[in-house]
Structure 1
Amino acid sequence: MFSNGVITTFNELEVSLYDYIIKNSDKVTYMRIRDLAKETHVSTSTILRFCRKLDCDGFSEFKVKLKLELDKKEDIQLKSMQYSLSEFMERTLKGNFEAYILEAAQVIAQTELVIFIGIGSSGILAEYGARYFSSLGKFSLYIKDPHFPIHANYLHNSTTIALSVSGESRSTITHINKLKQEGSKIISITNNKHCTIAKISDINIPYYVTEEKSNNSNITTQIPVVYILEATGREVNQLRNINSSK
């Protein structure tokens, strides 16, 4: 709606009007022209000139177009999320996905300590994973500090669960190398199995969803990671209950 060509034609008042509309789009669609003029400290005639530059006959038509644009964006975001989740759910019903989770759970069940590592949003999920596993009775810690020092003797009987969407996080790779040297077994959860982190792991669980970015930020859904963490944690708990009943 606001093309670069149109924006370059705005004068100073119209730029301030544009800035207000961008920041308050949902609110503007329900405002009267007098209300918008009062909020932006411009005249109604300035608003009407602004609308004509956007090929709108008046403020009412502008609000309709703005509302359609907002609805379109919301629909795209919803469809994108639905598609990513349907991709993941389809894959969980095929192939060796559950076998990967069982294999990981068997390794974790035999170790005393579980260490979750990740950076950014993966760091937040590392914290969640440690909390979830601890709630199930498995002693767990998390590392989301890229400069966290790793030099401990008790890591030989531990399992590290590395979280990374791209599988190329330098700080996570550095942590993995240090933890491997200390004897920790490495399980990684990544968006594909061809990344560096997957290749240097003992076990990799790839979930394969369409990667999404916004303004250079990775906004790929993390719902599959939560599912994998919880499914693995429950499997570990079940294995422990089976072993304790023998």
Structure 2
Amino acid sequence: MAYQDIYSLIHSRYTTFTNTEKKVADYILANAKDVLYMSITDLADACCVGESSVFRFCKSMDLKGYQEFKIVLAHSVSLEDETPQLSSQITMQDTIPELSSKILSTNINALTETYNLIEEKDIQRAAESMIKAERIHFFGVGSSLVTALEAKSKFMRITNKTECSIDSHLQSMSASLLTEKDVAIVISYSGSTKDTIEIAKTAKEKGATIISITRFAKSNLTYYSDITLLCGANEGPLQGGSLTAKISQLYLLDLLYFAYFKGTNKESIYNKEQTAKAVVEKML
């Protein structure tokens, strides 16, 4: 579809907005670039309104919801800056050395922010839950599924109780068979992906411990989470699946891996030796 200019759209319908919707519109017009990296909960809090008011604001402009609004906003910001929304720092004029430097800086900043968001007690609780669990399921859709599969691959070197299905229907079925003895690690940058939220809801109903890895402390996903681990990367709506966000998620998973390894030292060492031997003949 051809996206309209969000600023023109807001101005043209401003008089038809309710007072609450005008609060949302005013904030967006004044802070458009910041809103690109905000969840619906963050925007609602910033405007001192409810999430339903933000959703109604989006619907009043004939948009399907908040995610489509952010895509339209991203296109408008890109046109305003006269450059595609590659990222908030990178431009079409950058040379290879400039790109190298900016990408390095972006990744370092994302890892540093993730490090600063780490709560020791949450990592400890998450590791202990995983150690006690009968099964550990990794869940994610889209680019987050790739991260979940990476986590499965890493943990299966030291334990045989990890699982990860590659189809959203299979993930739903796996979630429906969880018990209070299991752990579900749910990965979603936005925390607002419908399939992922449904999986978390199902896992919660079955009594499983839910560990979420996400960007936003307040989201539909964290509502169902027992433990929330926050990644520090900023990803715009036109940058879905960015490696910066994935690196931050993998950093947290690596931290869980070593915490788990320390808590199951003898078993993990033995299993790592066995899995290494299993593939040694496949190497040159």
TM-score (norm 2): 0.54
Which structure has greater strand proportion?
1
Deviation at 1:195, TM superposition (A): 1.8
The one-letter amino acid paired with 1:228 is L
| Contact kept? 1:190, 1:204, Cα under 8 Å | yes
Structure 1 pair 227/93, CA: closer, same or farther in 2 (3 Å)?
Answer: closer
Matching of residue 230 in structure 1 with residue 230 in structure 2? no
| Contact kept? 2:210, 2:227, Cα under 8 Å | yes
1:37-58 deviations in Å (ceiling 9; x for gaps): xxxxxxxxxxxxxxxxxxxxxx
Which blocks of at least 5 consecutive residues in structure 1 are unaligned?
A: 1-68
Secondary structure, in 3 states, of the residue corresponding to 1:125? helix
Secondary structure, in 3 states, of the residue corresponding to 2:156? helix
| In 2, Cα distance between equivalents of 1:208 and 1:167 | 14
- Which one has more relative contact order, counting CA pairs under 8 Å at least 6 apart? 2
| Contact kept? 1:193, 1:199, Cα under 8 Å | no
| Contact kept? 1:114, 1:140, Cα under 8 Å | yes
The structure 1 residue matched to 2:136, chosen from 114, 137, 143, is: 114
Deviation at 1:169, TM superposition (A): 0.6
Deviation at 1:207, TM superposition (A): 1.3
1:168-201 deviations in Å (ceiling 9; x for gaps): 1100111111111222110000012122112220
The one-letter amino acid paired with 1:121 is S
The one-letter amino acid paired with 1:129 is A
TM-score (norm 1): 0.62
Deviation at 1:103, TM superposition (A): 2.1
| Contact kept? 1:211, 1:220, Cα under 8 Å | no
Q: How many residues align?
A: 175
Which blocks of at least 5 consecutive residues in structure 2 are unaligned?
A: 1-90, 269-284
Secondary structure, in 3 states, of the residue corresponding to 1:135? coil
Superposed structure 1 runs of 4+ greater than 4 Å apart: 73-77, 151-154
| In 2, Cα distance between equivalents of 1:160 and 1:192 | 18
Matching of residue 85 in structure 1 with residue 107 in structure 2? yes
Matching of residue 134 in structure 1 with residue 168 in structure 2? no
Aligned counterpart, 1:48: none
Larger radius of gyration: 1
| Contact kept? 2:114, 2:233, Cα under 8 Å | no
1:145-164 deviations in Å (ceiling 9; x for gaps): 22224265553311000011
Structure 1 pair 230/169, CA: closer, same or farther in 2 (3 Å)?
Answer: same
